[in-house]
Chains A and B, each alone.
Chain A
């Protein structure tokens, strides 16, 4: 227990407790510990604290011999801030990526030159219904081909293949197909 008291003395010296008062506390403690030992009482019941430095500091502080330690800057707020930041980052990153992609696709769409005109493909040799479907998908007018003639083959077309049709006029252009079969 002498080692415990010696450690207390060192701590009081370090904290700037006046020598006279430090010695008074050390003497009091030594005498009490010796008596407790003689009684067969565990030192822990007298001390209640296994760390001599903490014990000495607490005692001196409670007696008003040293100033209260400055409150530790709470890192709780910092950790909460970091956590919130990370969560926001995880939310924001995909959102940002999505926005970027969307804007990219918009940009891409905008960057594509507008379609100026259509080059009429060759329908000759295609089956009637297939030729009709292609023409309709291109936005052209086609004379309706009845189902019984679906398998007929296109033998001629007007306008001819390769004809440039202004895109805006495609709906006013009627494709005429001559069929056989």
Chain B
């Protein structure tokens, strides 16, 4: 019984680790996607991701990633007053960020399609 519990926990940890690794490669695209049409401040981006079904828990903070996007000029920033709160730093996709997003999404779809064609034959039974 205990051995089974340990095995289940190990499997879950491995799955989370794999998810984390896979997300790490595309989380920047997701951030660009949620500020493509409308600027957002940091927490608002987290909220938009969650609303679209992506929880970033366990994937590390978005702030370092936002910092990198800012440094690379893929996002533009400005400060603006928020609703009743202190002025916030808003992020929006810059023209080069939009291009990077387009290319990144194309690459992601290609990879996803290739991986899907390999894994399509596997019948995965999801337990629990």
Residue among B42, B63, B70 with most chain A CB within 10 A: B63
A32 in contact with B43 (CB, 8 Å): yes
Tell me if B65 is interfacial: C-beta within 8 Å of chain A: yes
Contact A62 B86 (CB under 8 A): no
A residues contacting the other copy or chain, number (CB 8 A): 28
Count: A-B pairs, CB below 8 Å: 71
Chain A residues near B128 (CB-CB < 8 A): none
Contact partner of B55 (CB less than 8 A), chosen from A24, A27, A45, A55, is: A45
Contacting residues of chain A (24-47) with chain B, CB-CB under 8 angstroms: 24-25, 27-29, 31-36, 39, 41-42, 44-47
Interface residue B57 (Cβ < 8 Å from any Cβ of A): yes
Chain B residues positioned under 8 Å from A44 (CB to CB): 57
* Interface of A (DSSP majority class): helix
Contact of B86 with A31 in the complex, beta carbons under 8 Å = yes
Cβ 8 A contact of B43, one of A35, A48, A58, A62: A35
- Among B42, B56, B86, B88, chain A packs the most CB atoms within 10 A around the CB of B42
Contact assessment for A64 and B86 in the assembled complex, using a CB-CB cutoff below 8 Å: no
- Kindly identify, within residues 61 to 96 of chain B, every residue whose CB is under 8 Å from any CB belonging to chain A: 61-65, 67-68, 70-71, 82, 85-86, 88-89
Contacts of B64 in A (CB 8 A): 55, 58-59, 61-63
CB-based contact A48/B89 at 8 Å: no
Contact partner, A31, options B55, B57, B68, B88, Cβ 8 Å: B88
Please state if A48 and B88 are interface contacts (CB–CB under 8 Å).
Answer: no
A48 with B71: CB separation less than 8 A = no
Across-interface contacts of B63 in A (CB, < 8 A):
25, 28-29, 55, 59
Bound form: Cα–Cα A47–B59 in Å:
10
CB distance from B72 to the nearest CB of A (A): 9
Nearest-Cβ distance from residue B23 to partner chain A, whole angstroms: 12
B residues less than 8 Å from A25 (CB atoms): 63
- Please list the residues of chain B having a beta carbon within 8 angstroms of any beta carbon in chain A: 41-43, 46-47, 55-65, 67-68, 70-71, 82, 85-86, 88-89
Could you list 11 further interchain pairs (A-B, Cβ under 8 angstroms) beyond the known A31-B86, A61-B64?
A28-B89, A29-B42, A31-B41, A34-B85, A42-B57, A46-B43, A46-B61, A55-B64, A59-B61, A60-B67, A63-B70
* Leading 3 A-B pairs by shortest Cβ distance: A63-B67, A32-B43, A62-B67
